[in-house]
Structure 1
Amino acid sequence: MSSSTPAGRATIAPPGRGEPEARRSRGLLAIGPAFVAAVAYVDPGNIATNTAAGATYGFLLLWVVVLATLMAGPVQYLSAKLGLVTGKSLPAYVAGRVSRRARIAYWMQAEAVAIATDIAEIIGAALAMHLLFGMPLVPAGLIAGAIGMLLLAARDRLGRRFLESMCLVSLFVIGAGFVVGVLTSPPGLDDLAGGLVPALGGAETVLLAAGIVGATVMPHAVYLHSSLTAERPVDRGHLMQRLRWTRMDVGTAMILAGGINVSMLVLGATALRGVPDDSFGAAAAALTERVGDGAGTAFLVALLVSGVSSTAVGTHAGAAIMAGLLHRQVSPLVRRAVTLVPALVLLASGLEPVTVLVLSQVALALGLPFALIPLLRATCDAKLMGPWRNHRALTAVAVAIVAIVVVIDLVLVGLVVTGRG
């Protein structure tokens, strides 16, 4: 027997079974999508911006990392809720409410965000292979892209639980890589407390702060999360329960990702303080010299796992964006080529990879309003969401998040226009 949500979504009622067993099964269905999105929160772009911020400015921007994580939680929950309640992804929602010309324009900026994301992930993985195994950068980038494709093929063959499990394992491996460094060079409590006091130190710190926000509240993760939850039918009578489990899924994933991001900056502010912020090689060498061989290797392994796992997630997000906005499925090989080629060109150009990574995250910050404003509008729409529309407190939080992102972007654009950025 089936029923419909306020958006007209066809849903599937659960089969007859004991209620405790059915409740556990419905809860388990809600667990996992947030961990896929969370991998995007600890990709090589995060590593570059957070460690660069710590190495150059100490704990000054720690509050930005914490604030960005606190912003990311409600955003990911709203994205998940939109998919659950309506059965549509955020790109599909936008596509249904704008003209064809506006839809194409929106897709172009979303595609640019996906390319910027993949640039960071491929470059990070390639650089890790280069430093760990001595591989040339361009072949290493090709291998990273191929591994991402294999992971998605395995997901198609083995089911979505494979990708979710892979992402969870990746989060723990990445976290372990940074915790090793932090524990061997622990920060002082006074330093941590001081870093939580909001402050900036000039135009360069604004650029890094924008990069941190863009690397954490990532547009493609917002698009993807709504698509992942839309894939999972839920009976209307059990929707409130599924939303509670979804909040747990998002909260747990954000705590884990947020802790890893804090560890990145803390590692930069302690073991990497004063190390040039434009070279992962210099960072790994400094960790080896100051902390020990294990710390340098753990850092590079974390970078490799971060790049490989997040490139699979990024390609998946790009496919969801194209399917929602253009109403067509594109071969994963074609999607991989579209986003891989720019990364390989940059790897071959001789530009400093870490600088490219930081700038790519700034580009993500500029793309955030295009994801957040439609998401806020959709989840506040009573006709679309019915009784599951945002309540006033959640709306106020979401409006504040959008306002912070827009202000950061306006300041960033102002610095670029005046030549100070």
Structure 2
Amino acid sequence: MFAAIDSKATVAAMRDSLDHPQRGARGLLAFAGPAVIASVAYMDPGNFATNIQAGSTYGYQLLWVVLLASLVSMLFQAMSAKLGIVTGRSLAELCRDEFPRPVVIAMWLGSEVAAMATDLAEFMGGALGISLLFHIALGWALMITGIVTYAILSLDQAGFRPLEIVIGALVAVIGLSYLAEMIITPPDWHAALFHSVVPELHGKDALMLAVGIVGATIMPHSIYLHSGLTQNRAPARNDEQRLRLVRFSNREVMLALGVAGLVNMAMVAMAASAFSRSAPGITDITVAYHTLTPVLGAGAALLFLISLLASGISSSVVGTMAGQNIMQGFVGFHIPMLARRLITMVPAVLVCLTANPMSAMIDSQIVLSIVLPVPLIALVVLSSRRSIMGRFAAGRKLTCMAVLATAAIIGLNLALLWQALA
């Protein structure tokens, strides 16, 4: 029990499990954490915005995009974690060492833009949740969100475990809220299953939403962060232990991101069931909340706000952690967490007070999708180099899968650009 909340005890439990292999859930539990934190990026308010608009506008038609993006995210998060486990270094650090300096600087600047776009949706979502839940002005809600986020980040001073537990609890709140929503408003299961496996893109905005879903699901900052989260835990002493750590990591990625994928699909299904007929084409989270009350009752609307609040706070914490990891990896210096929080928070505050929050969230996810190929290409290149990964270098099949997935994302971005210019 103590090991579950104490970082030193957790490291000791991991060390013991590596030195004396254990089977079953007990052996896996001590290693849980990095993928849970990474999974928050796949349930952030940007997902709420894109999934609600997708479900309310196109019903269940874009579920296949959510499912495919979730599977691709599992692939790349597993690769990122493996890179960190094998090398003991983060993706950003390896990019700094392996690529030419002009490329590294360009990657860092692009990653900072992505961090700000990420924080825009996350910070805005948390503030909207507080504003609607407690009936206070958005300006005060923004301030409260910043304070709560910084308070949770401060838990890191006591080690990694307390922070992981708080993030895990917030993830559980999001998942349980949407489970309850599915009970309150059961989807059309036949339509949901059909559209999960049959690709369709009908309507002029369907491509834009598909790109937004990809950007909201496969997050650049999470790709960078996952490799860094595997550090400062229980480093492997030999290749056998590295292999064991990679297996533990792969199981956690499948479980944590599998749950995140199901939550995203539940968001689209709920929006399709609740809004596609009564309020089609919802483009505002506030409107979605006010529409839920007469359609499904106050209980469903309350659950929606609670999940949005948990999503905004947890993802804002993780976004700040990722921004710190990216800066430290690419340029090699560390700034105080409060300063980092303020740097990425200011653009979000300005947009919150001057623009439509829902539109800004969706636009931010499109920006993320455009930036996304950069860390994916870097991850594929570095993971396949034997000089870096040794015997753990990615094989030909895995590399081909990753290349095809990256090419598909680039293709979606180019198609959206072509549509915008036409």
Say whether the fold is shared (TM-score over 0.5): yes
1:186 aligned counterpart, secondary structure:
coil
Shift of 1:362: 0.7
Displacement, 1:326?
0.7
- Determine the structure 2 residue equivalent to 1:333: 338
Offset at residue 54 of structure 1 (A) = 0.2
Distance 1:18 1:378 in 2: 29
Secondary structure, in 3 states, of the residue corresponding to 2:309?
Answer: helix
Q: CA deviation at 1:22?
A: 10
Contact 1:123 1:141 in 2 (8 A): yes
CA contact (8 A) 2:21 2:27 kept: no
- How many angstroms does 1:393 deviate by? 2.2
- Which residue matches 1:382? 386
- 2:20 corresponds in structure 1 to 19
Greater shift, 203-212 or 187-196, is seen at: 187-196
Tell me if 1:295 matches 2:296: no
Q: Distance in 2 between matches of 1:17 and 1:98?
A: 33
Counterparts of 1:16-415 in structure 2, within 5 Å, are: 19-20=20-21, 27-157=28-158, 159-196=159-196, 197-232=198-233, 233-236=235-238, 237-274=240-277, 275=279, 276-349=281-354, 351-415=355-419
Q: How big is each residue's C-alpha offset from its partner over 1:66-105, in whole Å with a ceiling of 9 and x where there is no partner?
A: 0010111010000000000011111111111233333222
Distance in 1, matches of 2:226 and 2:82, equals 9
Deviates more, 1:56-65 or 1:145-154: 145-154
Contact 1:278 1:353 in 2 (8 A): no
Can you give the 5+ residue segments of structure 1 that lack an aligned partner in the other structure? 1-12
Shift of 1:396: 2.0
Which is further off, 65-74 or 144-153? 144-153
CA distance in structure 2 between the partners assigned to 1:318 and 1:17 by the alignment:
31
SS at match of 2:205: helix
For residues 228 and 333 of structure 2, what CA distance do their matches in structure 1 show?
14
Q: Which amino acid aligns with 2:266?
A: S
Matched residues in 2 for 1:15 and 1:133: separation? 46
Secondary structure in 2 matching 1:30: coil
Indicate if the aligned counterparts of 1:223 and 1:317 stay in contact, CA closer than 8 A: yes
| In structure 2, C-alpha distance between the alignment counterparts of 1:322 and 1:26, rounded to whole Å | 34
Cα displacement (A) at 1:231: 3.0
Give the whole-Å Cα distance in 1 for the aligned partners of 2:297 and 2:134.
Answer: 19
Amino acid at match of 1:288: T
Contact 1:26–1:242 (CA under 8 A) maintained in structure 2: no
Name whichever of 293-302 and 395-404 sits farther off.
395-404
Contact 1:59 1:269 in 2 (8 A): yes
Distance 1:84 1:23, change over 3 A: farther
Shift of 1:355: 0.8
TM-score, normalising length: structure 1: 0.92
* Paired position in structure 2 for 1:4: none
Partner Cα distance (2:290, 2:15) in 1: 55
CA distance in 2, matches of 1:186, 1:17: 44
Displacement of 1:23 after TM fit?
10
The letter for the 2-side match of 1:380 is: S
Moved more, 297-306 or 397-406: 397-406
Q: Deviations 1:351-370 (Å, cap 9, x if unpaired)?
A: 21111111111111001100
Give the secondary-structure state (helix, strand or coil) at the position aligned to 2:274: coil
- Give the fraction of aligned pairs with identical amino acids, expressed as a percent: 37
> Counterpart amino acid of 1:38?
S
Higher deviation after alignment, 43-52 or 20-29: 20-29
Contact map agreement 2:17 2:27 (CA 8 A) in 1: no
Q: RMSD across aligned C-alpha pairs, in angstroms?
A: 1.9
2:18–2:241 CA contact under 8 A, matched in 1: no
Which amino acid letter does the alignment assign opposite residue 285 of structure 2? Answer: F
Cα distance, 1:272 vs. partner? 2.0
Deviation at 1:21, TM superposition (A): 6.0
Partners of 1:376 and 1:154 in 2: CA distance: 33
Alignment gaps of 5+ in structure 2? 1-13
Deviation at 1:47, TM superposition (A): 0.6
Aligned partner of 1:9 in structure 2 is none
Q: 1:14, 1:235 within 8 Å by CA — same for their partners in 2?
A: no
